[in-house]
Amino acid sequence: MSTIPNILVVDDHREIRASVTRFLERNGMRARAAKDASEMDAALAEDSYDLIVLDVMMPGEDGLSVCRRLRVAGSIPILMLTALGDDDDRIRGLDLGADDYLPKPFNPRELVSRVRAILRRTSHRENGIGHLAGRRVKFSHLELDYDQAVLASNDGTAVPLTSGELKLLSIFLERPRATLRRDELALLTAGRELGPLDRTIDNQVSRLRRKIEPDILRPRIIRTIRNEGYCLSCDVEVIE
């Protein structure tokens, strides 16, 4: 990340683009605006950015499709803007690899706070926090190829993971047999606190379990610890 963060704001509403860009600049960042995916691509071709603020609902290619495409191409952090109460878009965005989300309408100060939290977390990751990159990891009956984001089981079945699933699984693999609270998982995956009715972590764990548990109705790899959180209940071996 550069000394002065460079942020790309992608939203089809002119007023939102202008206000977000202006507020980011007032808080010590560089910012450029794009009205759609085409303008975003042009901006990315001309400059490098530390983070993209990305609206979900846009004409042409929508934000979820853009997020999926950006994750295939690289790891630039993404803060998604979603419609208030649209849980499906929020969950899909996180599963596709978005780093955080913010529902509209939002407080500009909260947006800046979330941008800074993502940048801090990204900076830590780039400085070497997290030791699974480039490794193959065995746990239970599965083997994870971290760089390919693919799980292989003993019978040879290969299952691809989304960026969000890989991020969540990595957190468990780096802390085997430790009980992780839901709010702790939210901070580790998205740098934010959970609201009182926020089921994001439970939904993400449920999706991950569908790919790793032999019996989804009786999970034994990621166990639910009642009134506490979740625990990876097996040993982990880094094999290369």
Q: Does domain 6-126 have CATH number 1.10.357.10?
A: no
Task: Note whether 149 and 164 are within 8 A (CB).
Answer: no
Q: What is the pLDDT along the chain (240 residues), one digit of tens a residue?
A: 447 899 999 999 999 999 999 999 999 999 999 999 999 999 998 888 999 999 999 999 999 999 988 877 777 899 999 886 667 777 888 888 888 888 888 899 999 999 998 888 766 554 444 567 778 899 999 999 988 889 999 888 999 988 788 889 999 998 999 999 988 888 777 666 677 777 888 988 999 999 999 999 999 999 999 988 999 999 999 886
**Structure-token match 């690899």, residue found:** 97
| Interatomic CA distance for residues 227 and 9, integer angstroms | 39
pTM, two decimal places: 0.60
The sheet that has 78-83: what strands, in order across it?
Answer: 30-34, 6-10, 51-55, 78-83, 100-104
Contacts of 21 by beta carbon, 8 Å cutoff, 6+ apart: 9, 31, 32, 33
| Interatomic CA distance for residues 232 and 84, integer angstroms | 33
Same fold, 6-126 and 136-238: no
Residue-range domain boundaries for the chain: 6-126, 136-238
For domain 136-238, give its CATH number from 1.10.3720.10, 1.10.10.10, 3.30.930.10, 3.40.50.300: 1.10.10.10
Tokens read off for 235 = 């040993």
Task: Note whether 86 and 62 are within 8 A (CB).
Answer: no
For residue 25, the tally of other CB atoms under 10 A from its CB is 12
